Amino acid sequence: GNSVTQMEGPVTLSEEAFLTINCTYTATGYPSLFWYVQYPGEGLQLLLKATKADDKGSNKGFEATYRKETTSFHLEKGSVQVSDSAVYFCALSWGGGADGLTFGKGTHLIIQP
Amino acid sequence: NAGVTQTPKFQVLKTGQSMTLQCAQDMNHNSMYWYRQDPGMGLRLIYYSASEGTTDKGEVPNGYNVSRLNKREFSLRLESAAPSQTSVYFCASSEVWGKETQYFGPGTRLLVL
């Protein structure tokens, strides 16, 4: 079946540090890949996405590249801010059925001033 | 444009009681979803409706039923609540079924005593 594995936190960084959150996946078919972010007390919201191999998604200084050869979609940001503190979810979707919608367990990111 | 709305925001139930969680979207989306979020488990799909008039089981459907009332509304019913159903429930929608971005509601926090 499909699965998403992401590093579990919490991940604690200082402001302006470089961020990488690893995400790898297993999927049949050719899924779209997503990063969602959840701020405290809120629902998830899309951060970025990529729909095919070698696509790069980017938003708010975050980037992730769809790597089919390594089945990865790592999230990066060059300089994090306190406001980036949140839980980040990697996810895949390919529409083949219920197991075509799969989320990782989430990575809690804490940025200290 | 409210997006995805959920009611109630918070509910306490006793074991054996029943309740219905309501979800509505105003984006004219075809597909809707119910997830539960538990610590360390990420999001798990309970049921989904790929289009109006259809519903299908997700990863964890036991103890739940759903109704796609119309294109806008998708409700989740707990017939006889159990403490294991204590969780945060999220409704989401997407334009179509498949590789699309999902838009999430703010969640319902449910406590079953």
Give per-residue pLDDT as tens, B36-45. 999 888 899 9
Token pair 């992730």 is found at: A64
Q: How confident is the model at residue A96 (pLDDT cuts 50, 70, 90)?
A: low
pLDDT in tens, A9-62: 899 999 999 999 999 999 877 899 999 999 988 899 999 999 999 999 999 999
Task: Write out chain A residues lying below 8 Å of B58, CB-based.
Answer: 98, 101
Strand order of the sheet with strand B64-68? Answer: B4-7, B19-25, B74-78, B64-68
Q: How confident is the model at residue A94 (pLDDT cuts 50, 70, 90)?
A: confident
Whole-angstrom Cα distance, residue A29 to residue B88? 30
Residue A97 has pLDDT above 70, yes or no: no
Residue A1 has pLDDT above 80, yes or no: no
Q: How confident is the model at residue A8 (pLDDT cuts 50, 70, 90)?
A: confident
Task: Write out chain B residues lying below 8 Å of A98, CB-based.
Answer: 45, 48, 56-59
The residues, ordered by sequence, that sit 6+ positions from A57 with a Cβ below 8 Å of its Cβ are A33, A35, A48, A49, A50, A63, A64, A65, A66
Q: Is A44–B105 a contact, with Cβ atoms under 8 angstroms apart? A: no
% residues pLDDT > 90 (chain A): 78
Over chain A, what is the mean pLDDT?
92
DSSP single-letter state for residue B8: -
Strands (E), A1-113: 3-6, 11-14, 19-21, 23-26, 32-38, 44-50, 56-59, 62-65, 75-77, 86-93, 101-103, 107-112
The residues, ordered by sequence, that sit 6+ positions from B23 with a Cβ below 8 Å of its Cβ are B4, B5, B6, B32, B34, B73, B74, B75, B76, B91, B105
Q: Do A25 and A4 meet the contact criterion of CB atoms below 8 Å apart?
A: yes
Whole-angstrom Cα distance, residue A112 to residue A27? 36
CB proximity A31 to B under 8 Å:
yes
Residue A29 is predicted with a pLDDT of 76
What residue of B is the nearest CA neighbor of A106? B42
Residue A28 is predicted with a pLDDT of 77
DSSP single-letter state for residue A84: G
Two tokens, residue A37: 């972010």
Q: Is A101–B58 a contact, with Cβ atoms under 8 angstroms apart? A: yes
Could you say which residues of chain B have pLDDT below 70?
none
B95 SS3 class: coil
Token pair 């999220």 is found at: B90
CB proximity B48 to A under 8 Å:
yes
CB proximity A25 to B under 8 Å:
no
Q: Do A91 and A51 meet the contact criterion of CB atoms below 8 Å apart?
A: no
CB proximity A35 to B under 8 Å:
no
Please report the number of interchain residue pairs, chain A to chain B, with beta-carbon separation below 8 angstroms: 59
Mode of pairing for the β-strands spanning B56-57 and B64-68:
unpaired
